[in-house]
Structure 1
Amino acid sequence: MAGDTICLSCGFPLRLRNRYVVNRPLGKGGFGATFLAADEGLPGYPPCVIKQLRPNSQSPSILKMARELFEREAYTLGKIGNHPQIPRLLDYFEETSNFYLIQEYIEGETLKQEYERRGKFNEIEIRKIIAEILPALGFIHQNGVIHRDVKPANIIRRKQDGQLVLIDFGAVSTQVNKIPGNDNDGDDPSGLLTNFAIGTPGFAPPEQMAMRPVFSSDLYAAAMCCLYLLTGRSPKDFGHDPYTGEINWRSQVQLSEHLNFIFDKMLQPSVAHRFRTAEEVLQAMESRAQPKPQILDDEPNTYQTSQNRISRVDAANPNPTGGFPAARKSRVQASLSGRSLSGNDITSGLQLTRGGATRGGIGRSGKELKGGRKVIVEYGQGKRNFANQDLAKASLASANLAGIVMSRSKLMETDFCQSDLTGASFQGSIMSNAKLNGTNLTRAKMQRAILSKADLGSASLVNADLRESKLQFAYLSKADLTGANLSNADLTGAYLKQANLRRANLCGANLKGAKVSEEQLSYAKTNWSTIRPDGSKRLF
């Protein structure tokens, strides 16, 4: 009722410090409850979250632990300061023998709620989640803090800008925690003390369950979050190898070889074999490193690639050119991503294939060079027309392929990340789920291309021709679409937040359900046939 200061149903004060006015409850946990409130001490009465310490048990040991965790959360939030992906601590006080935290209110859905609403995530979406949440984890780790309860329910997608925010620092650790030996069995029958000390079973790695959390414990939990979003299965339902302790997850998902490698290392049961820091994971995501060159026969010869040569590393025969005949006997695996190999780069037109060093593109095994490597090698030799090619799932990351023609090619899930494709032609190509984030596609010809669910985040599409292209649910955040021709393009459900649409032609385009602001659209060219995000058409 208006004017009430105490909730008649639970006795909770509805006004704290004569400033924070409670609107409604948000949730309740083992040690406390949260409420949405208005801060009447600031102009406009901005929303905030009140977190009250309120344990279910009155056991002395539970009360002691609850207060310790509560104070630790306040200390941690104050210590780490401001970060765009962590709620700010606004106030912390004791009133009427109760402890309260006042935090910034983050409006949006948790990843758990998002999964329950829309279903399973795909690999492109999971890559974005990893790339976005790990910087926040890296930030708190640099401040000496282990979150210890990373899970989908503790990651919110902020409604304002779609950015992921890490919440609930009630289980944080700044040191190895020990539970008093005699209190747990008798005074904690519900297991609240143990759960808050170790995080959420299933998401927490073995060392955290054993009360020895490290920074990489949060990385393990982040990977388990991703597996949940990919499959909908609780981590406890995956099962594990009784000999190694590894989670049996590989048969449950279909991922690229690169992401399989990332998850495999994030989910190692042994801390010594796991990524140590969030930065290491991010570097591995960006580098897309392949296995080191290997010798596949019994010869003691080793070959290494450089930017413009293959050099022999053999103490018995240091002559690099004299060693080429032996190259036919040795088979070398090499990564050519980002390399431009012209006809003069390698002696006598020698090429590298999946099967070995070859002449004319055919190895001793008789297998031809295929996929992204074939394109890079042949492009370096002067070829530009790769029309009608099937390059599904090929890797062309970081390659310089300006002016390449791939019209009517199949490029589903192909990796073009950070590539230079200035003036390239993709007319009529099928590029669903292709990875083109950060790619330079200035003046690219992509008329009638199928780019549904493609990742074009931060890509340069200045003056690109995207007429009649299919861009349903494509990710175009921060993409530069200045002067791009998107007339009659299907942008249903596309994510265009922070994209530059200045002078972009959206006449006749379908933007129903797209994430784009009216301010962005005001800079673009639209007409009566443009379907707006709300499904309507307008006369201009």
Structure 2
Amino acid sequence: MSYCVNPTCPHPENALQDLVCAACGHALRLRDRYRASRPLGKGGFGATFLAADEGLPGNPSCVIKQLRPNTQSASVLKMARELFEREATTLGRIGNHPQIPRLLDYFEEQSNFYLVQEYVEGETLKQEYERRGVFNETEIRKVLTEILPALGFMHNNGVIHRDIKPANIIRRRQDGQLVLIDFGAVSSQVNKTTIDEDDEDPSGLLTNFAIGTPGFAPPEQMAMRPVFSSDIYATAMCCMYLMTGRSPKDFPHDPFTGEINWKSQVQVSENLKAVFDKMLQQAVTQRFRSAAEVLAAIDTKPAQAPDAGAMQSISSGSQYQSATQPKPSPPNSRIQAGVRSSTANTDFGSGMFTTADNTRSQAKTGDLKGGRRVIVEYGHGKRNFTNQELSKVSLGSASLAGIVMSRSKLVEADLCHADLTNASFQGANMAQAKLSGTNLRDAKMQRVILFKADLGSASLIQADLREANLQSAYMSKTDLTGANLSGANLKGAYMTQANLRGTNLCGADLKGAKVSDEQLAVAKTNWATIRPDGSKRLF
């Protein structure tokens, strides 16, 4: 279906092949390439649409954001345009991050302004809560350790998001990674004195987009004086919502100080309680100053382990570090690299482990215990781990060059940024594994299952991936120089900006894959290669 983006169109739905709206005569392809298919949302500021980019092979999905203030006030329109342009400028500056949608285009057409962004398919944390219910402590810790690096990246680029809330954090379906969306309020410096005194703002545009969402935004932001830690406060309030289902405005508060009485509403460990206590300080000077500080506090074990009552909501993956043992590695590197880590108490890079002897977590095969065992045994010279059950194992940042894990089960394993040079995973089941930034140069991976795996920015130079199952895998910016993917299943794989120079794709199935003709032109293909559009060609 083609959807007309004209705000006054009485019947916006049209046939897919139509070029002009039958109801209003408005062109159905913006800039002669973007075709909207359905609305995603709208408000006083504008509207967003799911669209297809018909200017690229395979018509990849994207999101069109249209400036659409529902008032004709010249001053409000001017302010809305400034906010819109600021969002475009900001996304252009900070969009090179896996947890921030990339800005693809920005243009004006028929007196309307449009942003075109990378489409992130998935559900927001708000939708996830509504579907499955409250989050436990382990899940909340994972949310924090995933979203804080993205916040730190933004803040390091001088940007304050200003509208952090569950509806603006989406879990990408392709790899399960949390992504920040809706940058319409970033770094805005709008207040009432900037518009004419006799102008009104009936749409609530300035309030909604210049200040943020009441309840999630801290006092200084509501007073038009946001700081970086304003996003930290809002992140904590997101967690409160996920753990209770209550809007921040519904929490009891101290009538004298204005502080939210959240401690009586949630049951978490003393460590996490102390972290939230500092994240939610009303006074900016008493709050964490950076995302790095929050991550460091999450990684630090409290003086005493939490009591049994507080531990009831903590699953087996949560561990605490002994106060007498070495401190965890600093989180700054995780922020800069955007690496997610839910196992900060284990230093996989050095092979040293700082898990407290009195931890109450029940380690099972496939969790941290499996990761520790592999690294310890590898350190003692063992290389062959064939036929192991290691689902959900955490080996992130480990140095395991030459390890043999053929036919092992590594479903949902975390191998991000590990060094697996010349490793062997032949016939292994690595469905939905996380391998972003991992070094797999010269790895032997024939017939490996990497269904829906995250291989973003991984190095697979000269890797042997013959007949591998990479269906729906995320391979953006993956380096596949000289890799052998003959006969591989790459249906629906996301290969935008992947390096395919010299890659053997003979007999590979690329139907529905997000890959350009320019990329394929430098790869080796033959008559048996199935193109993204489902066709075969002679080369």
Task: State the TM-score, normalized to the length of structure 1.
Answer: 0.60
**Superposition deviation, residue 183 in structure 1:** 4.9
Give, in whole Å, the separation in 1 of the partners of 2:324 and 2:420: 21
Query: Which amino acid is the alignment partner of residue 151 of structure 1?
Result: K
- Give percent identity, aligned residues only: 64
One-letter code aligned to 1:254: Q
| 1:269 corresponds to 2:203 | no
Q: Give the structure 1 partner of residue 346 of structure 2.
A: 417
Equivalent residue for 2:376, pick from 401, 421, 442: 442
Gaps of 5+ in 2: 1-14, 308-317, 327-341, 379-388, 404-409, 422-428, 467-539
Contact 1:397 1:418 in 2 (8 A): no
Match status 1:235 vs 2:167: no
1:226 matched residue in structure 2: 239
1:178–1:3: structure 2 CA closer, same or farther, 3 Å change rule?
same
Instruction: Tell me the alpha carbon deviations over residues 288-336 of structure 1, each in whole angstroms, 9 at most, x when there is no partner.
Output: 0656xxxxxxxxxxxxxxxxxxxxxxxxxxxxxxxxxxxxxxxxxxxxx
CA contact (8 A) 1:111 1:153 kept: yes
Per-residue CA deviations over 1:408-461 (Å, capped at 9, x if unaligned) read xxxxx999633898899x9xx9437987698575349xxxxx999997766799
Task: Tell me the equivalent position of 1:342.
Answer: none
In structure 1, the partner of 2:34 is 20
Match of 1:155? Answer: 169
1:41 aligns with 2:49: no
- Cα distance, 1:273 vs. partner? 0.3
Q: 1:300 is matched with which residue?
A: none
CA-to-partner distance for each residue in 1:367-391, whole Å, 9 max, x for gaps? xxx999xxxxxxxxxxxxxxxxxxx
Contact 1:436–1:459 (CA<8 Å) still a contact in 2?
no
More off after superposition, 26-35 vs 8-17: 8-17
The structure-2 alpha-carbon separation of the partners of 1:503 and 1:144, relative to structure 1 and needing over 3 Å to count, comes to: closer
After TM superposition, give the deviation of residue 397 of structure 1 in Å. Answer: 7.9
1:109 aligns with 2:123: yes
Contact 2:62 2:118 in 1 (8 A): yes
User: Aligned pair 1:59/2:67, yes or no?
Assistant: no
Q: 1:394 to 1:204 in 2, by over 3 A?
A: closer
From the superposition, tell whether residues 500 and 100 of structure 1 become closer, same or farther in structure 2 (CA, over 3 Å).
closer
Corresponding residue SS for 1:248:
coil
Q: Could you say what secondary structure the match of 1:78 adopts?
A: helix
What residue identity is the alignment partner of 1:154? N
Secondary structure class of the residue paired with 1:26: strand
Q: Report the counterpart of residue 336 of structure 1 in structure 2.
A: none
Indicate the residue corresponding to 1:125 in structure 2: 139
SS, match of residue 213 in structure 2: coil
* SS of alignment partner, residue 254 of structure 1: coil
- CA distance, structure 2, for counterparts of residue 200 and residue 237 of structure 1: 14
Change (3 A) 1:22 1:473: closer
1:281-430, aligned counterparts within 5 Å? 281-286=294-299, 288=300, 290=302, 395-396=321-322, 399=325, 417-418=346-347, 430=362
> Partner of 2:193: helix, strand, or coil?
coil
Partner of 1:250: 263
Shift of 1:49: 1.2
Corresponding residue for residue 294 of structure 1: none
Report the Cα distance in structure 1 between the residues aligned to 2:413 and 2:266, rounded to whole angstroms: 22
> In the TM superposition, what are the counterparts of 1:57-206 in structure 2 within 5 Å?
57-173=71-187, 175=189, 177-180=190-193, 183=196, 187-206=200-219
Letter in 1 for 2:346: C
Label 1:107 to 1:153 Cα distance change in 2 as closer, same or farther (>3 A): same
Give the letter for the 1:262 counterpart.
V
Aligned partners of 1:396 and 1:414 also within 8 Å: no
Q: Which amino acid aligns with 2:363?
A: M
Compared with structure 1, are the counterparts of its residues 463 and 4 closer, same or farther at alpha carbon in structure 2 (3 Å cutoff)? closer
Q: What is the aligned counterpart of 2:64 among 26, 39, 50?
A: 50
Write the letter of the residue equivalent to 2:232: L
Mapped to 2, the partners of 1:185 and 1:436 lie a distance apart of 67
Residues 390 and 411, structure 2, Cα contact 8 Å, conserved in 1: yes
Answer yes or no: is the 8 Å Cα contact 2:70–2:203 preserved in 1. Answer: no
C-alpha separation between the residues in 1 aligned to 2:181 and 2:201?
A: 26
Give the whole-Å Cα distance in 2 for the aligned partners of 1:494 and 1:173: 36
For the structure 1 residues 16 and 170, does the alpha-carbon distance in structure 2 shift closer, same or farther, using more than 3 Å as the test?
Answer: same
Mapped to 2, the partners of 1:91 and 1:216 lie a distance apart of 30
1:240–1:66 CA distance, 2 compared to 1 (3 A): same
Q: Cα 1:115–1:94, aligned 2, differ >3 Å: closer, same or farther?
A: same
Residue 102 of structure 1 and its aligned partner are, at CA, apart by 1.2
**Stretch deviating more after TM superposition (240-249 or 429-438):** 429-438
Query: Who is 1:538 aligned against?
Result: none
Is the 8 Å Cα contact of residues 395 and 416 (structure 1) preserved in structure 2?
A: yes
Against the structure 1 CA distance between its residues 395 and 80, is the aligned structure 2 distance closer, same or farther, given a 3 Å change threshold? closer
Q: CA offset at residue 463 of structure 1?
A: 13
**Residues 147, 171 of structure 1: 8 Å contact kept:** yes
Question: Deviation at 1:159?
Answer: 2.1
Select the structure with the greater relative contact order (CA < 8 A; seq sep ≥ 6): 2
Q: Is the 8 A contact 2:120 2:172 kept in 1?
A: yes
Q: Answer whether contact 1:148 1:198 (CA < 8 A) is retained.
A: yes
The code of the aligned residue for 2:347 comes to Q
* Aligned CA distance change for structure 1 residues 63 and 481 (closer, same or farther; 3 Å): same
SS at match of 1:130: helix
- The range that moved more, 262-271 or 132-141, is 132-141
Task: Assess, with a 3 A threshold, how the Cα gap between structure 1 residues 215 and 422 changes in structure 2: closer, same or farther.
Answer: closer
Aligned partner letter, 1:271: V
Query: Where does structure 1 lack aligned partners over 5 or more consecutive residues?
Result: 292-353, 355-369, 373-391, 401-412, 445-449, 465-470, 483-490, 505-510, 524-540
Q: For residues 143 and 480 of structure 1, do their structure 2 counterparts lie closer, same or farther at Cα, with a shift above 3 Å needed? A: closer
By how many angstroms is 1:205 displaced? 0.4
Alignment check: 8 A CA contact 1:436 1:457 kept: no
* Structure 2 residue identity aligned to 1:100: Y
Check 1:187–1:476 CA distance in 2 against 1; reply closer, same or farther (3 A cut): same
Q: Does 1:431 align with 2:369?
A: no
1:484-495 residue pairs with structure 2 within 5 A?
none
Following superposition, the deviation at residue 168 of structure 1 comes to 0.7
Deviation, 1:123, is 1.7
- Mapped contact 1:398–1:418 kept (Cα < 8 A): no
CA RMSD between the two structures: 5.1
SS at match of 1:252: coil
Normalised by the length of structure 2, the TM-score is 0.60
* 397 and 47 in structure 1: CA distance in 2 versus 1, 3 angstrom threshold: farther
* Aligned-residue offset at 1:23: 2.2
